[in-house]
Structure 1
Amino acid sequence: MKLLNPLLMVTIAYHLAAATLSKTDSKKASSKSLETKTRLSDVPVQSRGLVTTDVKAKDIVLDHQSYCSKHVKERHVSGDVLGYVTPWNSHGYDVAKMFAPKFTLVSPVWLQIRRKGRQSYQVTGLHDIDQGWIKDIKKHSKSTQIVPRVLFDSWTYQDFESVFSSEDEIEDLSDALVQTARDEQLDGFVIEVWSQLGGQKRQELVHMLTHIGQALHQDKLQFILVIPPAVAPGTDQLGMFGKKEFDLLAPFVDSFSLMTYDYSNPHRPGPNSPISWVQACVQILDPESKWRKKILLGLHFYGMDYSALGASGEPILGSR
């Protein structure tokens, strides 16, 4: 298994704070330069001994907000790198701008698509789209593409059934996404829908997503699909997305955003992303490395702090 081959999906989640994502948040975050919030260094992390299998807690506390000012534009990954700007970290807007050359794809969590009725779809969250921020990203890196995440918001089981049973519904759904990308000058979308049906209707989901992929590609738009882990966390059981679905969708999907994190929970505390589990999730989907370059391997930039009673858990910040 060559773990260096998969592409990387890097989640921007340095500061996990309770915040809603809005244009106001992005402007507030942009009002202070990134340099004022971090400790600069002229020495890369490799030379400081921070890239190691023997990580020291004191080094994380000391260096979690530092970066090498001389290397902000360098990339050390040959494939795609996707960064999410998440609702709990509006500071991610600044991080994405400063390090834009390191990312080929940036996905702000902005949009939802809703089914309003028969063959009627509406993309919501458009008020959160910050065209000024997008222009800033493009100014820092012309090759970085903006691909907002889209949730299938407030969909009922019947909504899915109606779409699955009608080619016209699927076409209208796809058209709504394509038109939004045109209107807002977006480069494509990260689609998150697979887990909503809990592993049911896999064949129907593959059919719907294949059509969405074809429609997006016809307009030269990126299609990234979020997929759950191939091995259910804490078990030896296969997850709700497997090799069969992966093989069927791979020709129509540009990249798969593989959720290889949040392995543990308050009722089963433990590691966030054990390497053996991560390896298994990749190997099960693509044992022969046919489509390995399309797997964006999810990397978490946070840990979890669980209570002794197992009743709750919360992200642990770098400063701790």
Structure 2
Amino acid sequence: MDYERLIDEETWAFIKRTAESYPDDAVDLSIEDQRCVYNRMCQDFRQPRPVGLDVQDRSAGGVPVRVYTAGEPTRTVVYFHGGGFVVGGLDSHDDVCAELCVQTGYRVVAVDYRLCPEHVHPAQFQDSWTATNWVVQEFGDPLILAGDSAGGNLAAAVAQHARGRLEGVLGQVLIYPGLGGDTSAGSYVEHAQAPLLTLEEIRFYEKVRCGGPAPQNDPTFAPLQDIDFSGLPPTVVVTADCDPLRDDGPAYCRKITETGGRAHWVNEPGLVHGYLRARTSVKRAADSFERISVAIEALGQQIWPYD
């Protein structure tokens, strides 16, 4: 793959800056060391919170959450962070959640689910489901589910599990999610050696997540394993073109539209996995973050601007 041609100079600068604190051989590090380098990398990119925010750390039925509020919101975004189910937390995506709160005007609740390998699947899904139910009981607002990477997986799993169990889910916005696609085909092969996320790393994180063989026919593990995609809320999936996970996005959208649901796929040319951190230094990433914010706001208002 000719990444020198596909990826522009701004994005290469972001990739190189990331590599300075998050080395290519990270999968060879201990889990503790991986978390240390990931936290350092996130801190290096972290932006100050916008003014006018109220931020509180709470407990959602025993699951730590961070609640961002600006003004008098009538919608709540439940946000699940990325990090391969192994790294990340409330601080790693603090600035992303803060900015989404200010840009949309919605309350944002970030979920600090338990991590692997100390807590293998389905602990992450269970925490996400518990926190989402707490949000409904605590605030009573209609919801938008959102997340990036591993968090996109959790948002989709919660949306699918919520059918017939939870009212008021207005939509979901999934950002370069890993949804359990076929790792022997498509983008998994085409971009097996993509910058910032390789197929080898995906397989490593899956192994750590399971603590053994990956489960089959378990949509709380891999949403694409579901057998029924009807009744899902309006869905927007945003992918990075130079990412092994890319093809999970259109595959998921097709499953939804084939059952008569609404789903829209946005593929971002020249971008790589994890580009949310590049939104202040790479124009392509900034434009994509604006599209993500607009999608969340639109779904919250029950507007579908993609027909």
Higher RCO, 1 or 2 (CA under 8 Å, sep at least 6)?
1
Output the TM-score relative to the length of structure 2.
0.37
TM-score, structure 1 normalization: 0.36
Structure exhibiting the larger radius of gyration computed from Cα positions? 1
